[in-house]
């Protein structure tokens, strides 16, 4: 199988060999890509926290989601940290009720939208209208990704904060009413951080 010579000496499949040699060539190609990624060293540590229990808040101030932090120590102060947060939210059903979320740790507090009149600058937001979810059994998955530059070789602890808007209660990993029924769900929230080498 021919060799491209760059960037990781990844082989390619010659047109005349495509059908006859595909099983062998595809395996060789997959292994070459994997070896190339390892050699390139694009990623360092990977840390994930999985929160399986529920969290509830009625606070209108940002409140840390307990049990949903991830600590990572960058190997270089030029390395970046890729943050992936997935948060299942149940919110009360009153009109104008919502939940706002933001990141903490490193420089992740900068991961917010632009200012616009009285709209709040957040990382993620979610809300339900009374007309669309009258029984409060809906759950929204809010998922966000942010590449942080903490500029340190000290341990950095990332987390998620949430606050309610209006007069609602915010629930994580469960619906608002959480009734005892099979069509109600209990979910997991995850916070994953990956070190991206400069």
Residues 116 and 74 in one domain: yes
Residues 85 and 121 in one domain: yes
Contact yes or no for 145/84 (Cβ under 8 A): yes
Contacts of 133 (CB under 8 A, 6+ apart): 93
Residues 78 and 157 in one domain: yes
The domain containing residue 12 runs over which residues?
Answer: 1-40
Domains of the chain: total = 2
CA-nearest of 163, 165, 22 to 102 is 163
CA–CA gap between residue 66 and residue 35 (Å, rounded)? 39
CA-nearest of 166, 161, 191, 153 to 49 is 191
- What dihedral angle (degrees, nearest 10) is formed by the CA atoms of 115, 117, 118, 121? -10
CA-nearest of 59, 150, 79 to 111 is 150
Kindly state the DSSP code that residue 1 receives in the 8-state scheme. -
Residues 124 and 73 in one domain: yes
Residues 16 and 69 in one domain: no
Residues 35 and 47 in one domain: no
Residue 76 pLDDT: 94
More confident residue, 165 or 91: 165
Position 2 confidence tier, pLDDT thresholds 50, 70, 90: low
CA–CA gap between residue 48 and residue 64 (Å, rounded)? 17
CA–CA gap between residue 99 and residue 90 (Å, rounded)? 9
CA–CA gap between residue 184 and residue 180 (Å, rounded)? 7
pLDDT tens, residue by residue, 20-70: 555 566 677 777 666 665 555 678 899 999 999 999 999 999 999 999 999
pLDDT tens, residue by residue, 108-159: 999 999 999 988 899 998 876 555 454 556 788 889 999 999 999 999 999 9
């Amino acid at each position: 199988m021919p060799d491209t010579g760059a960037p990781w000496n990844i082989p390619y499949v010659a047109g005349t060999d495509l059908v006859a040699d595909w099983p062998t060539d595809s395996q060789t190609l997959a292994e070459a890509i994997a070896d190339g990624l390892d050699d390139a060293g694009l990623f360092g540590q990977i840390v994930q926290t999985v929160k399986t229990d529920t969290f509830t808040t009625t606070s209108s101030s940002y409140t840390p989601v307990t049990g949903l932090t991830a600590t990572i120590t960058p190997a270089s102060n030029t390395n970046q940290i890729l943050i992936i947060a997935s948060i299942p939210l149940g919110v009360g059903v009153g009109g104008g009720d919502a939940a706002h979320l933001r990141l903490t740790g490193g420089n992740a507090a900068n991961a917010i939208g632009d200012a616009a009149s009285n709209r709040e600058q957040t990382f993620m937001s979610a809300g339900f209208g009374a007309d669309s979810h009258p029984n409060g059994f809906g759950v929204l998955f809010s998922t966000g990704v942010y590449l942080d530059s903490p500029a340190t070789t000290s341990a950095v602890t990332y987390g998620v904060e949430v606050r309610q808007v209006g007069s609602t209660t915010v629930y994580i990993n469960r619906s608002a009413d959480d009734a005892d029924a099979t069509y109600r769900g209990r979910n997991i929230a995850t916070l994953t951080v990956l070190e991206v080498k400069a």
